[in-house]
Amino acid sequence: MSSLASKTNPVPGAAPLGMALFLVSLAVLFAASMVGFLVVRLDAETWPPPGMPRLPHGLWISTVVLLVSSGTMHWASRSARDGDQRALQRALVSTTALGAVFLACQVAVWWHLVSLDLTATTNLYGFSFYMLTLLHALHVIGGLAPLAVTTWRARRGRYTPEQRTGVTLCAMYWH
């Protein structure tokens, strides 16, 4: 196989395999973070510690936003598979917008808790909260950049039912 052929026709499955391996490494990072949180949480006599605010209900809003964005990303994948360019574009724009809404919700929650004097340096409760939510926010930010590129490419008709790797990789990451 010539080097030109390998650039235009990559080995089928190589990109999804690479993404899957990357996602496994992220899963290990998230799992280690959750184990750390559970160790702190289970060691505490009371949770939250006395005098600390309860976590805002805005976290539920951001959770719902992410669940809906998973649905719009699924819509994008299905639209790419079916060759429905208009639906693909709408679904990708919707997913990108919902990712931005999630980040705005996170910032609002952080702002609220800081106003209540709960920061990452207050205690392990604050540290655990900010560490987990910041890690999740960084993960969403990491998905928005390729999602924006994929959306831009979709708006130019670059995806077909036969060639939709960018959409597939974004869906893998987003879910």
pLDDT tens, position by position, 93-109:
999 999 999 999 999 99
Asked if residues 96 and 147 have their Cβ atoms less than 8 Å apart, the reply is: yes
Q: How far apart are CA 70 and CA 35, in angstroms?
A: 25
Helix (H, G, I), strand (E, B), or coil: what is residue 1? Answer: coil
What confidence tier does 2 reach under pLDDT thresholds 50, 70, 90?
A: very low
Helix (H, G, I), strand (E, B), or coil: what is residue 10? Answer: coil
Q: What is the pLDDT of residues 56-83, one digit of tens each?
A: 899 999 999 999 999 999 999 999 999 9
Query: Cα–Cα distances in Å, from 167 out to 38, 78, 116, 119?
Result: 35, 10, 41, 37
What is the number of other CB atoms lying within 10 angstroms of the CB of residue 34? 13
Helix (H, G, I), strand (E, B), or coil: what is residue 95? Answer: helix
Instruction: Supply φ then ψ for residue 139, to 5 degrees.
Output: -65, -45
> Among all chains, which residue has been given the structure tokens 């496994």?
24
Asked if residues 59 and 109 have their Cβ atoms less than 8 Å apart, the reply is: yes
Read off the tokens for 3. 């080097």
Which of the pair, 2 or 129, is modelled with greater confidence? 129
Strands (E), the chain: none
